[in-house]
């Protein structure tokens, strides 16, 4: 590895789904690594056996894969083998490394054995609370002599880090220099009595031995960074550069709760959003482009333009309207082939018989909807009428376009235009409709909207001439005649 090689990592705890905040941290690390030609590492902090579940591991990795965040080094996952020369990449498989490094700290006097029982620690905490002091370890075992330690025999002990005097400075790329007086820390535990490493030791050992060059993470870890810098120094590892970015807030300005819909990145997949949209949107939750006001980015553009110096200190609020706008923009960027491939599974799932239609027809159908749909899921409402004749008509639309004294005339004029159209395509239909409207003194909007309602049962959908072309002349005329019969049968109800 080159001395200046960029190595970034995401180290989620697989105790749930891929949270949007974790996705943001992963994205910033990934974009930075990609923009610098460096390596991106996926590491799983799965030492907490009670909270780790393999289905969460799978869900988390599925989230990364859906977003398109690939890793250069990481654990075995599904059909992906473990890869990278600094493994294993699961903390549960690295316990011996943590014990070895903790033993080294003990040997060098930078850590010590603490024999205090849980009851003793709790008593110290209660006394501190009674005296209105922050709960701190009293240092009771800090200066035990070798004889006193030997006298403890096989008594269980934890290992505490011996916090040095002075101050610790975290030189943060986003926050600037952050100073911690070491008196603010008590001698914190780094190994539990059962021999398992605490998070602080494990994460520093992992980052140190994996030669991580930049630690980019949420600013909720900023207070931990003081402890971590001390441990890096005590263990003799080169100090990585830190960048603590703000957390994602919900639309009310609170931390994005795990209970909220959308906290799980895969919720957005279920809701019909594109991964390209999520990547673009999450990037904007704390990063700004040098081009003022620019918000639409492709993945390749982000990989080229991303830089840590453009990350902001202040937390960004989730903005659903902006997300929806971006999703529409990304849908418009797809080719008809790409859009078709993405919507067909959704249409199948909703019972639409897409497999009975030729590919060329399906491509035209996707293209007809491309400018209209805000999410992929909207494709169902914009296309179901191609497969199922409307049995009813939207109430509001029927009152507006079927209940007017001229409504039967509009439908009859449209039927005549359809029958006489020289070709059955967009341009021929458009020309015939405009000529018929002019000749009959009918507003083109009334003719178009009444026809759309008759053909689809709806007032909103793809462009009329495109959808009529896709339905075919015979089917379109049949539906118009059914609508005319409906108007004549329900004239009284429609006008109430």
Catalytic (active-site) positions: 258
Cα gap 481→459, rounded to integer Å? 18
- The DSSP letter of residue 403 is S
Closest CA to 208 of 7, 27, 39: 7
What is d(CA 423, CA 403) in angstroms, rounded to the nearest whole number? Answer: 31
In order, the DSSP letters of 267-326 are HHHHTT--HHHHHHHHHTTTB--SSTT-----HHHHHHH--GGGB-SSPEEP-HHHHHHH
Contact 478, 449 (CB under 8 A): no
DSSP 8-class letter at 41: E
- Measured CA distances, 379 to 331, 387, 462 (Å): 11, 13, 10
Looking only at the bridges linking them, the beta strands covering 214-218 and 241-245 are parallel
Closest CA to 462 of 338, 336, 345: 336
CB 187 within 8 A of CB 234: no
């Amino acid at each position: 590895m080159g001395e200046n090689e960029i190595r970034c990592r995401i180290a989620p705890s697989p105790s749930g789904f891929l949270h949007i905040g974790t996705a943001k941290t992963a994205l910033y690390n990934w974009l930075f690594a990609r923009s610098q030609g460096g390596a991106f590492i996926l590491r799983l902090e799965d030492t907490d056996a009670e909270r780790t579940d393999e289905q969460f591991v799978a869900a988390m990795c599925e989230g990364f894969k859906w977003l398109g965040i690939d890793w250069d080094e990481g654990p075995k996952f599904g059909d992906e083998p473990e890869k990278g020369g600094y493994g294993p990449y699961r903390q549960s498989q690295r316990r011996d490394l943590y014990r070895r490094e903790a033993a080294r700290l003990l040997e060098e006097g930078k850590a010590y054995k603490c024999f205090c029982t849980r009851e003793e620690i709790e008593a110290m905490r209660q006394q501190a609370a009674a005296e209105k002091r922050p709960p701190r370890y009293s240092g009771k075992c800090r200066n035990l002599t070798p004889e006193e330690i030997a006298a403890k025999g096989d008594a269980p002990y934890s290992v505490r880090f011996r916090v040095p005097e002075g101050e610790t400075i975290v030189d943060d790329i986003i926050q600037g220099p952050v100073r911690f007086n070491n008196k603010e820390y008590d001698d914190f535990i780094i190994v539990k009595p059962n021999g398992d490493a605490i998070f602080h030791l494990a994460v520093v050992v992992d980052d140190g031995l994996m030669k991580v060059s930049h630690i980019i993470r949420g600013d909720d870890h900023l207070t931990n960074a003081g402890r971590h810098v001390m441990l890096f120094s005590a263990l003799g590892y080169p100090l990585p550069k830190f960048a603590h970015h703000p957390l994602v807030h919900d639309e009310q300005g609170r931390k994005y709760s795990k209970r909220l819909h959308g906290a799980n990145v895969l919720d957005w997949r279920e809701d019909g959003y594109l991964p390209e949209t999520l990547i673009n949107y999450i990037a904007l939750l704390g990063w700004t482009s040098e081009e003022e006001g620019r918000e639409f980015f492709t993945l390749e553009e982000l990989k080229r333009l991303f830089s840590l110096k453009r990350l902001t200190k202040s937390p960004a609020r989730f903005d659903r309207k902006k997300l929806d706008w971006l999703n529409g923009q990304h849908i418009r960027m797809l080719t008809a082939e790409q859009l078709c491939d993405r919507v067909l599974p959704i249409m199948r799932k909703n019972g639409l018989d897409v497999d009975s239609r030729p590919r060329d027809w399906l491509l035209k159908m996707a293209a007809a909807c491309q400018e209209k749909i805000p999410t992929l899921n909207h494709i169902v409402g914009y296309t179901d009428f191609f497969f199922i004749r409307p049995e009813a008509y939207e109430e509001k639309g029927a009152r507006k376009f079927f209940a007017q004294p001229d409504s039967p005339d509009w439908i009859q004029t449209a039927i005549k235009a359809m029958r006489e159209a020289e070709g059955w395509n967009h341009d021929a239909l458009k020309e015939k409709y405009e000529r018929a409207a002019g000749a009959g003194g009918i507003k083109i909007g009334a003719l178009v909207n009444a026809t759309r309602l008759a053909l689809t049962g709806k007032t909103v959908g793809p462009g009329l001439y495109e959808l009529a072309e896709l339905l075919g002349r015979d089917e379109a005329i049949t539906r118009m005649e059914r609508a005319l019969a409906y108007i004549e049968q329900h004239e009284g109800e429609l006008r109430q």
